[in-house]
Amino acid sequence: MKSLKLLTAFFAITSLTALNAQDTNEAGHAMEINISEVALLDIYDENEGSEAGTITFELDNSSITEAGLYDMSGATYTGLWLNYTSLLNEDADNDDSRNISVQMEEDSEFPEGLDLVITSSQSSFVSNGGSEDSRGEFVSGGVALGATTQIGDNVALIQGIKSVYTGDGAKGFQLTYTLNQTDNFSLVKAGNYTATLKYTLSEL
């Protein structure tokens, strides 16, 4: 008799569980969205149609046509575009931002008395890739590497970058490189110099 009562109770519980598990006109499930922080950059050369390679300045005798003068006005290169993607963490404060810095790497060679000046005269950003406040601001007047900022020293180029993507190719900030005489010309020596520029998008 006890076995029969237990069996009856078991069937009753099973039936109740099955009843509670029946489908209704509503259903749901959990969902997770995992978005990682991002900090990426590259430099596009629209003159070559590819990522930037070696940039060459030729200061040869053909540009020196008048005794008593030394003309460096043609020592410029433009058409480089700084592309970058930045995605901040949800825990970032409102004041948190990234910056892009640039330096000549430690093993670089660069003529004394000269600066490589990096400026930007225009920018172009993909639609909806970020706001004016999140794109960052290019340092006014640009930066100078060489005599002004020594080899191996970082200097900020773009500040205040938040969540943004510039677009690829001819997007972001356009860069112009110009060689300028900064110090006394007696310091400048003829020769072949090789330098490596390194741009860094900072981590938070």
Alpha-carbon span 103 to 105, nearest angstrom: 6
For 48-89, how does the pLDDT look when each residue is reduced to its tens digit (9 = 90+)?
999 999 999 998 877 677 889 888 888 999 999 999 999 998
pTM of the model: 0.84
Alpha-helix residue ranges (DSSP H) falling in the chain? 2-20
Those residues with Cβ within 8 angstroms of residue 39's Cβ, 6 or more apart along the chain or in another chain: 85, 86, 87, 98, 201, 202, 203
Beta strand 50-51 with 143-146 is unpaired
End-to-end CA distance of the chain: 73
For 135-185, how does the pLDDT look when each residue is reduced to its tens digit (9 = 90+)?
999 999 999 999 999 999 999 999 999 999 999 999 999 999 999 999 999
Domain boundaries, the chain: 38-201
